[in-house]
Structure 1
Amino acid sequence: MKYRRLGKTNVNVSVVGLGTWQYGGEWGMDFTQLEVDQILHQAKTEGINLIDTAECYGDHLSERFIGDFFSRDNREDWIVATKFGHHFHGNFERTRHWSADEVLTQLDASLKSLKTDYIDVYQAHSCSNDEFQNDELWTMLDKQKQAGKIKHLAISLKDNDDPFQTEKASEVGADAIQVVYNRLDRAPEEAIYPAAIQQDLGVLARVPLASGYLSGKYKPGATFESNDVRSKHDQNQTERVLNMVEEIARHEVPEGVNMASWALAWCLKHEAVTTVIPGCKSPEQVIANARAADLELVANDHPQSR
C-alpha cells in the first residue's frame, strides 16, 4: 500500500480507502456483521487505513457495523471519515437536517454508533450552497473540534462541477473535500481540482469505479434488482455507459491488468487526488482494489507533500 498526506493535515491515508455505503442495504445485499468484519480485516491486511461512511447509510447502520468491528480491533489504526446532514427513513428515502442543533445530535449519534470518542474527518454531506452558508453550523463544528470530538472537517460535494464550496473550504475550516471522479466523469478537473490544489485540500475521490460499471463485471444489457441503487439509474444511460466501458477496456486497460485496479489507479494519477474510496462486497474485491496501489500510475507520495 502507498500513503499520501491528506491536504495540509498531518494525517497520512492509504491511497485506496474503503467506501461503506453498501453496508446500509441499498446495493442489492444485506450484510451480516461477520461479512463486514471479514472485509475490514482484509482491508487492514492490505494496508488500507481509511474508512468512509455516513449517517444515512441505513439509519447509522453502516456506522454501527464499523463500530462493532472496532470493539474487536484497534480503533487507533484507522482514519474514520463520516458525514452529516441527512436522516435515513428507508431505502432511497432521506430527509435533510442542517441546523447546528440537528447536526450536533447527528454527531453524537455517529460517535455512539462508531463506538469512538472522536471522528477523524467529519464531512458535510452533499449540502446545497444555501445549506453550506450557515455560520452557526460551522461555529458549532469548530467548537466540537476544540472539544476533541472532531479532528478535521471536510465537505462531501453535492456537485462535481461547481467550485463554490471548494473555494470557500478553508474559510469554514475544512481540510479536505470529497467528490465524484472517475474515468467516465472528469468534471472536477476543470475548476474543483485547481481550487483544491491552491488551498492544499485533501481530495477523496468517490464513485471511482462509476458505481461498479468500471469494475469490468458488467456487460451491456446488465440489469439490477430493485434493492440495488443502480436500478434507479436511467437504463438507456446505463447501456451507453457500459458500451463506453467496453471501449475503455479494449483500448486503455493494459493486457493482464484487472480493470477495477486500473480504474482506481487512473484516478490516483491526478495530482489533486489523495485517495479513492471504492465500495466492495467481499474480501476478494478488497484485494483487487488494493492492487491499484501497485500500478505504475500511482505515485508513492502526494505531489504536494513537504
Structure 2
Amino acid sequence: MEYRKLGESDLELSVITFGAWAAGGWMWGGTERAESIDAIREAYHQGVTSIDTAPVYGQGLSEEIVGEAIKGLQRDKVQILTKFGLQWENNSGEFYFKSKNNQGKDINIYKYAGREAVLKECETSLRLLGTDYIDLYQIHWNDPTTPIDETMEAVELLIQQGKVRYAGVCNYTADQMQEAERTVAIVSNQVHYSMVNRKIEEVVVPYCIANKKSILAYSPMERGLLTGKIKPGHIFSEGDHRSANRSFSPENIVQVNTFLDKIKHLAKDKGVSLGQLVLKWTIEKPGITIALAGARNAEQAVQNAKAADIHLSADEMNYINMHLEDLILV
C-alpha cells in the first residue's frame, strides 16, 4: 500500500481509502452490519488504514459501524475522516433533498453549518466513533445560509481543543476553498471524480496543485458503473439511489460498457479486475491524492486494496485517456 500526505500536513492516508457511505445502508438499499465491520477490518489488514464516513450515512449508523470496526486497533495507526454540515432533525439551513431513513421514514436533508451546530455534530461523531479525536474533519457541502468564516471558526476551535487534527472541505469550488483558507488551514477537498465525471480538472485540480492542497476523489468507480458489472437491464434493490441516477440510464450503461470493452484487455493482462484498473488510473491522475472506495464485504475490501499495487505505464495511461475522449454520458 502507498501512503500520501494531505497538503502540507503530516497526516498520511492510504491511497485507497475506505469509503463507508454504503456501510450506513442509507440510499444503498440497506446494509449488513457484520459484513461491513469485516470489510473495514480486512481493509485495514490490507494496508487501508484510512476510513471516510459521515453522520448522514445512515443517520449515525455508518459512524457507529466504523467505531465498532476499529475497536482493538491501535488508534494512531488509523486515520478517521468524517464530515459535518448535513442534518435531518430540523429545518435549519438550506433544504437539500427529500429522502427516507433506513426504517423507511420520510426525512428532509438540510445543509447547515452554523457554529453551534458544528460543535454539537463533532461531539456526536466522537461518541459514535468511540474516539477522542478526528483526523480530518470536512464540511460535507457548503451551507449558503451561514458565512464560511463562521463555519471555519468553529472548526478552528475544535482543532485548538484537540478534537480535530486537520480541516478539510468537500464539494467546494476553488473560490470557496480560498475563502475558507482565510480562517483555518485547509489541507484537502473531497470531490466527485471518475473517468466519466472529470469536471474538476478545469478549475479545482489546478487550484489544488498550485496551492498544495490534496484532492480526495469520491465515487471513482462511479458507484459501480465503471466496474463492468452493471449491464443493460440491471435491477437495483429497493432504496438504492442509483436507480434514479441519470448516469445509470440504459444509454449510459451501454456507452460505458463499450468503453470498458476497449480497456479490459489491460486488466486481463495484469490479472486484475476492471474496478481495480479504474482505481489505479484515478490515483495516477495529476492532482488526485486519494481514491475512496467502498466495500460491502471483506472480499471487495481486499480487491480494492490490491488496486494500489498495479503498475500503469505512461503509454497505458495515454491509451485509456484516448478512449475516454469518445465517452460522453447523456
TM-score under structure 2 normalisation?
0.83
Q: CA RMSD in A?
A: 2.0
Per mean C-alpha deviation after superposition, the further-off stretch among 245-254 and 19-28 is 245-254
Matched with 1:261 is 276
- Cα distance in 1 for residues equivalent to 2:40 and 2:206: 33
SS in 1 for 2:16: coil
Residue 7 (structure 2) pairs with residue 7 (structure 1): yes
- Cα distance in 2 for residues equivalent to 1:95 and 1:267: 31
Contact persistence 2:41–2:70 (CA under 8 A): no
Residues 67-146 of structure 1 correspond to what in structure 2 (within 5 A)? Answer: 67-88=67-88, 90-91=100-101, 93-128=108-143, 130-131=144-145, 133-146=147-160
TM-fit CA distance, 1:231: 2.0
Matched with 2:301 is 286
Change (3 A) 1:255 1:153: closer
Contact persistence 1:124–1:156 (CA under 8 A): yes
TM-fit CA distance, 1:10: 0.8
SS in 2 for 1:164: helix
SS in 1 for 2:182: helix
Residue 307 (structure 2) pairs with residue 296 (structure 1): no
TM-fit CA distance, 1:265: 0.9
Matched with 2:262 is 251
One of 184, 201, 204 as aligned partner of 1:189: 201
Matched letter for residue 117 of structure 1: D
Aligned residues: 293
- Unpaired segments ≥5 residues, structure 1: 300-306
Deviation per CA, 1:68-114, whole angstroms, max 9, x where unpaired?
A: 22333222221111000112464374223221001111110001100
TM-fit CA distance, 1:140: 1.9
SS in 1 for 2:302: helix
SS in 2 for 1:277: strand
TM-fit CA distance, 1:28: 1.9
**Larger C-alpha radius of gyration, 1 or 2?**
2
Contact persistence 2:177–2:186 (CA under 8 A): no
Contact persistence 2:86–2:141 (CA under 8 A): no
Matched with 1:303 is none
- Cα distance in 1 for residues equivalent to 2:313 and 2:87: 36
Residue 171 (structure 2) pairs with residue 170 (structure 1): no
Contact persistence 2:189–2:213 (CA under 8 A): yes
SS in 1 for 2:222: coil
Matched letter for residue 256 of structure 2: V
Deviation per CA, 1:152-176, whole angstroms, max 9, x where unpaired?
A: 0011116xxx432234453242111
Matched letter for residue 51 of structure 2: I
- Cα distance in 1 for residues equivalent to 2:88 and 2:55: 8
- Cα distance in 2 for residues equivalent to 1:35 and 1:16: 19
Deviation per CA, 1:236-258, whole angstroms, max 9, x where unpaired?
A: x5223211221221112314131
Change (3 A) 1:184 1:53: same
- Cα distance in 1 for residues equivalent to 2:46 and 2:285: 23
Deviation per CA, 1:28-56, whole angstroms, max 9, x where unpaired?
A: 23222x22221112101110011000010
Contact persistence 2:7–2:212 (CA under 8 A): yes
Matched with 1:231 is 243
Matched with 2:39 is 39
One of 236, 251, 272 as aligned partner of 1:240: 251
- Unpaired segments ≥5 residues, structure 2: 90-99, 102-106, 315-330
Contact persistence 2:2–2:308 (CA under 8 A): yes
One of 266, 290, 312 as aligned partner of 1:275: 290
Per mean C-alpha deviation after superposition, the further-off stretch among 238-247 and 143-152 is 238-247
Per mean C-alpha deviation after superposition, the further-off stretch among 213-222 and 168-177 is 168-177
Matched with 2:165 is 151
Kindly, what percent of the aligned residue pairs are identical?
30
**Which portions of structure 1, spanning 4 or more consecutive aligned residues, are displaced by more than 4 angstroms?**
none
Deviation per CA, 1:266-297, whole angstroms, max 9, x where unpaired?
A: 11111211110011111111111112111113
Contact persistence 1:6–1:13 (CA under 8 A): yes
TM-fit CA distance, 1:131: 4.8
- Cα distance in 2 for residues equivalent to 1:241 and 1:126: 27
